[in-house]
């Protein structure tokens, strides 16, 4: 599940492989995750790739305008990997794995291929204006957000802190794994309300978010199910997960069993001792929190 470190790893790989190459043609499989599939084949062939950047979890492939195409707009390619998306460069004669839905033929006999089992990803073309709009819709990058900006976006909010970490308009780049890992390191329970955090805790959380993301980038991301980089190689950070995927196993700090509950609609892993749960506001007695509203299907 690609989050900021995985997307950064893919982008760095593509940045080594793609600039200078031109798109020759585009072939499509299923296209329900693409904004305007026909536009890919109309506006990309003949254009040279300049560079590849990351905007939160989005991949921005910047292309030069087509020399002869004054009349055609020259938008860039934006890709989001969703849950199971892969963007890989391969020799054109190498067989593609199942669920490969977009092939960008390059001018050197290779292909940039997009594979996505569940098609939660996104792909669209965007000119400057739309890219600016995308940046404005998102918060600051989680890796570089300042202490002041992070406080401003979080302090006083009535949402659970976990929900805010996952909200890309608060900070961009954090997903479920790194949210849980950061909260464990900051010793903050995922269900606590942001408004009830001390400023010191907010600052510590930002510090841990950035530490965790930095370490994960160094290890080329976490490979839980599907993630691979632009060469098809898995990352190594999953070995350093302290809570994610460790339900029932001992906490690395205090040996208490790691628990998993649903917070903000997401599986959330935490140590019940290191990350004390929020106390009920005016709850009399200890109303058990085993609500997991399990609805029966009719």
Partner DNA sequence: AGCTCTTCCTGAAAGC
Partner DNA sequence: TGCTTTCAGGAAGAGC
Catalytic residues: 2-3, 57, 266
32 belongs to the binding site for DNA (CB under 7 A): yes
Which segment (89-97, 104-112, 155-163, 276-284) binds DNA by CB under 7 A? 155-163
DSSP class of residue 118 equals S
- # binding residues, DNA (CB under 7 A): 34
Between 103 and 244, CB nearer to DNA: 244
List the alpha helices (DSSP H) in the chain. 4-17, 37-43, 128-137, 147-154, 161-166, 176-186, 199-218
Burial 261-287 (b: 16+ CB within 10 A, else e): bebbeeebbbbeebbeebeeeeeeeee
Can you read off the two tokens belonging to residue 115?
Answer: 């594979």
- With beta carbons less than 8 A apart as the criterion, state whether 274 and 253 touch: yes
Among 41, 214, 250, 267, binds DNA (CB under 7 A): 267
Between 47 and 189, CB nearer to DNA: 189
153 belongs to the binding site for DNA (CB under 7 A): no
Minimum Å distance from CB 265 to DNA? Answer: 3
1 belongs to the binding site for DNA (CB under 7 A): yes
Between 67 and 283, CB nearer to DNA: 283
241 belongs to the binding site for DNA (CB under 7 A): no
What does the alpha-carbon distance between residue 18 and residue 89 come to, in Å, rounded to a whole number? Answer: 9
What residues make contact with DNA under the rule CB under 7 A?
1, 3, 32, 56-58, 80, 82-84, 98-99, 117-120, 157-160, 163, 166, 168, 175-177, 260, 264-267, 293, 295, 297
């Amino acid at each position: 599940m690609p989050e900021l470190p995985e997307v950064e790893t893919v982008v760095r790989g593509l940045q080594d492989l793609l600039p200078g190459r031109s798109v020759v043609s585009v072939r499509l499989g299923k296209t329900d995750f693409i904004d305007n599939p026909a536009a890919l084949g109309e506006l990309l062939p003949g254009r040279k790739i300049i560079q590849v950047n990351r905007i939160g979890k989005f991949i921005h492939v910047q292309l030069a305008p087509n020399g002869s195409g004054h009349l055609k707009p020259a938008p860039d390619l934006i890709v989001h990997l969703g849950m199971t998306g892969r963007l890989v460069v391969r020799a054109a004669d190498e067989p593609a794995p199942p669920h490969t839905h977009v092939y960008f033929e390059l001018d050197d006999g290779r292909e940039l291929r997009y594979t996505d089992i569940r098609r939660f990803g996104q792909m669209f073309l965007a000119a400057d204006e739309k890219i600016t709009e995308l940046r404005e819709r998102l918060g600051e990058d989680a890796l570089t957000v300042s202490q002041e900006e992070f406080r401003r976006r979080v302090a006083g909010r009535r949402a659970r802190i976990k929900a805010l970490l996952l909200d890309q308009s608060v900070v961009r780049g954090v997903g479920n794994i790194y949210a849980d890992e950061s909260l464990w390191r900051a010793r903050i329970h995922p269900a606590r309300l942001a408004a009830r955090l001390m400023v010191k805790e907010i600052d510590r959380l930002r510090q841990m978010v950035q530490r965790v993301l930095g370490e994960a980038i160094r290890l080329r991301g976490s490979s839980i199910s599907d993630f691979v980089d632009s060469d098809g190689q898995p990352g190594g950070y999953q070995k350093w997960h302290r809570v994610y995927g460790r339900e029932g196993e001992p906490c690395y700090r205090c040996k208490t069993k790691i628990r998993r509950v649903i917070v903000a609609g997401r599986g959330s892993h935490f140590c019940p001792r290191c990350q004390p749960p929020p106390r009920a506001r005016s709850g009399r007695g200890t109303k058990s929190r085993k609500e997991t509203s399990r609805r029966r299907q009719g």
